[in-house]
Amino acid sequence: MSLSEIMFYILAAVIIVFSILTVTSRRVLRAAVYLLFVLVATAGMYFLLNYQFMAAVQLTLYAGGIVVLIIFSILLTSHISHRFEKPPLWKILAGGSTFVFGTGLTLWVLLSHVFTPSSQKAMEVNMTEIGNHLLSLNKEGFVLPFEVISILLLATMVAAIIIAKKEDNTKSDEI
């Protein structure tokens, strides 16, 4: 077994184990930390594929951004002694059967498909290429989704500011 295969199995094991722990943990911050492990291991997968840009995006956005925000909101709202209640039996059964069905379906699709490995040499992902494609109007350009996402983010930010803004009843008439 080559080194990259060993690394793949280690990362895959980390992802599977901590994904399960994330949904079964009864302490909310631990679940968030397990989720962090899953996301970091996914970034490791991208590194293994030599797709470093995606790995760094995964680390900044998910590990450094979203998980930090999740943990921050847990810090503000939850106490250390808090535990989730044990779910009732029917919920465990329903969740378990969905899990078995979903895994079975995915495995069946994956195993019945014949993957043909590409014989071409791995290409270096060029930063300039990514930048040009993101802002290009041509056939392989992504400028429309790029702009749509930026408008969506702007709308979200405006909404967040309006929600967070303190209402000032005394001066509302003057404005």
Q: How far is the CB of 72 from other proteins (least distance, A)?
A: 5
Those residues whose C-beta lies under 8 Å from the C-beta of residue 86, and which sit 6 or more positions away, are: 26
Q: How far is the CB of 94 from other proteins (least distance, A)?
A: 29
Among 92, 94, 127, 152, binds other proteins (CB under 8 A): 127
Q: How far is the CB of 63 from other proteins (least distance, A)?
A: 5
> Nearest 10 degrees: CA dihedral of 7, 11, 13, 19?
180
Biggest CA–CA distance in the chain, Å, is 75
Q: How far is the CB of 74 from other proteins (least distance, A)?
A: 7
Site for other proteins in 20-39 (CB under 8 A): 27, 29-30, 33, 36
Site for other proteins in 53-72 (CB under 8 A): 53, 55-57, 59-60, 63-65, 67-69, 71-72
Instruction: Determine if 40 is a binding residue for other proteins (CB under 8 A).
Output: yes
For residues 43-63, one letter each, b for 16 or more C-beta atoms within 10 angstroms of the residue's C-beta and e for the rest, the string is: bbbbbeeeeeebbeebbeebb
Nearer to other proteins, 2 or 172 (CB): 2
Q: How far is the CB of 75 from other proteins (least distance, A)?
A: 5
Enumerate binding residues for other proteins (CB under 8 A).
2-3, 27, 29-30, 33, 36, 40, 52-53, 55-57, 59-60, 63-65, 67-69, 71-72, 74-76, 80-81, 124-128
